[in-house]
Structure 1
Amino acid sequence: MITTTTMTTKTYFSTYNFEQMLNIKFDPTFLPVAATSFTLFIFLYKVINPILSNLLIKDYKNFTDGQKIDWSTRINSSINSLTVGIICIYMMIADHGLEANPLLYKSYLLKTNLCIVIGYLLSDTAINIIHYKKIGDPFSMAHHLVSVYAFVHVLTLNVMPYFANFRLLAELSTP
């Protein structure tokens, strides 16, 4: 006697989604946001942060070059975390599409937020490379580049936006 067993499998991705993943095309729509973010954070680092620090921090003049670089990058980090964190909280509260489809959802606000972070991460990496002898940290640079890689996947594939947003919430923990 011969018996046959039929196995059922659950489909997580539709054929359309599978074809979409195979036909990945770079979408330059959000590239200006990342470039603007990069430029803004470099401008803050080189111009605005030193001017405001000289005006507001009495001992700033006595900082070593390394301390000034570190101070300015920490200001940039705080600005990034506050900006990105506020957008993340708003999305968690108000963007119901993100909640309804956490694996595959196109959110233009999330993409904008990711590009802000990508611009910041690339600017901070560039600053670390330029001033490597004073403040360079290979682990920090590796962390930045791996984060950029992951966020570019979310931007390109439109996958796991909820988890990307949740990950960005961790930016609020920046001291």
Structure 2
Amino acid sequence: MAGFQFLKVGLIDIAGHATPTKELHWLLSVFVGIIMCKIVYDLTGVVSSMFFSGYAKLNKKEKLEWNNRGFSTFHAIVVAVASLYLLIASDLFDGGSKDELIINRTSTLSDTILGISIGYFLSDLAMIIYHFPVLGGMEYVLHHGLSMFSIIQSLLSGQSQIYILMVLFSESTTPFVNLRWYLDTAGQKKSKLYVWNGLALFLGWLVARILLFIYFFYHMFTHFDQVKKVYPLGFYSLLTVPPVLALMNIFWFWKIARGFVKTLTKARHSK
């Protein structure tokens, strides 16, 4: 009972800056994310059946994953573009553009993107668990769980959004991961597109999930005076969750590198 009371008080403290209008905006954004997943899931099936003759030959599990990767790709493109805009093109996080600490800066767009991402991760995690392990193993459950945990905290508190957006930009590698699966399922592993996509995935992962995370930790270190002002749960989450995600990225990068080398070797021998 005491633990529940502590959690309740903690959540009230985290969302203490929220107004009824903000809370409604957050809920609508999450709802939009869920509806987006449903619409794109259905559209993926319809469009694929119209333009890809092999779709009808897929079994039930393959069609499930095919459509699931459709809304996964769509979400990745949306959040990657929005994150890039907020981090670089807009002045939201410019060092000298505002008096407010970088760690505390938010905007209507950033709140919306975080809400949509929560809706996506909820939808995808629900499908992963319901169809487990067809759509992914425990590593995906861990990844989605940690992602939602961090995003929800940032949305409710209005803190650390710059770091959440950096991590969300790493979703830019997802379309290449999904295209690799699509080509494999369609029997196109020997095509030039498969090889070029493998190269794009390798380079994209290196930039968005390895080098960007190095910059992430560098930015935290150089702005640690601000990081220390984040509420306690958020502060300790910043110190623990990103390193776990970084280790997972390194592990997956090692597998991607091995797969790409194997693809190049096969392509060379087939000539």
TM-score range, shorter chain: 0.7 to 0.9
Shift of 1:43: 3.0
- Look up the match of 2:233: none
* Aligned residue runs from structure 1 range 51-90, under 5 A: 51-90=46-85
- Look up the match of 1:99: 94
Mapped to 1, the partners of 2:33 and 2:133 lie a distance apart of 25
Are 1:40 and 2:36 matched, yes or no?
A: yes
- Look up the match of 1:25: 15
Mapped to 2, the partners of 1:94 and 1:77 lie a distance apart of 25
> What is the TM-score with the length of structure 1 in the denominator?
0.80
Are 1:154 and 2:139 matched, yes or no?
A: no
Mapped to 1, the partners of 2:62 and 2:12 lie a distance apart of 48
Shift of 1:164: 1.1
Where structure 2 has 5 or more consecutive residues not aligned to the other structure, the ranges are 1-10, 96-100, 177-271
- Give the counterpart letter for 2:135 in structure 1: I
Question: Is the 1:98–1:161 contact (alpha carbons within 8 Å) kept by the matching residues of 2?
Answer: no
Mapped to 1, the partners of 2:122 and 2:152 lie a distance apart of 12
Seen in structure 2, the aligned counterparts of structure 1 residues 48 and 22 have a Cα distance that, compared at 3 Å, is closer
Report which of the two has the higher share of helix. Answer: 2
Mapped to 2, the partners of 1:35 and 1:134 lie a distance apart of 25
Q: Say what the alpha-carbon RMSD is for the aligned residues.
A: 1.9
Mapped to 1, the partners of 2:83 and 2:134 lie a distance apart of 33
- Look up the match of 2:224: none
Where structure 1 has 5 or more consecutive residues not aligned to the other structure, the ranges are 1-20
Deviations 1:95-122 (A, max 9, x none): 2232334311122211111111111111
Of 143-152 and 90-99, more deviation after overlay is shown by 90-99
> What is the TM-score with the length of structure 2 in the denominator?
0.53
Question: Is the 1:125–1:144 contact (alpha carbons within 8 Å) kept by the matching residues of 2?
Answer: yes
Q: What percentage of aligned pairs have identical amino acids?
A: 23
Shift of 1:157: 1.2
- Give the counterpart letter for 2:153 in structure 1: H
Mapped to 1, the partners of 2:69 and 2:89 lie a distance apart of 30
Question: Is the 1:99–1:162 contact (alpha carbons within 8 Å) kept by the matching residues of 2?
Answer: no
Question: Is the 1:102–1:163 contact (alpha carbons within 8 Å) kept by the matching residues of 2?
Answer: no
- Give the counterpart letter for 2:117 in structure 1: V
Seen in structure 2, the aligned counterparts of structure 1 residues 22 and 122 have a Cα distance that, compared at 3 Å, is closer
Shift of 1:134: 3.1
Matched residue count:
154
Kindly indicate whether structure 1 or structure 2 has the higher relative contact order, using CA contacts under 8 Å at least 6 residues apart: 1
Deviations 1:66-105 (A, max 9, x none): 1111111111111111111111111123322323343111
Higher Rg of the two aligned structures = 1
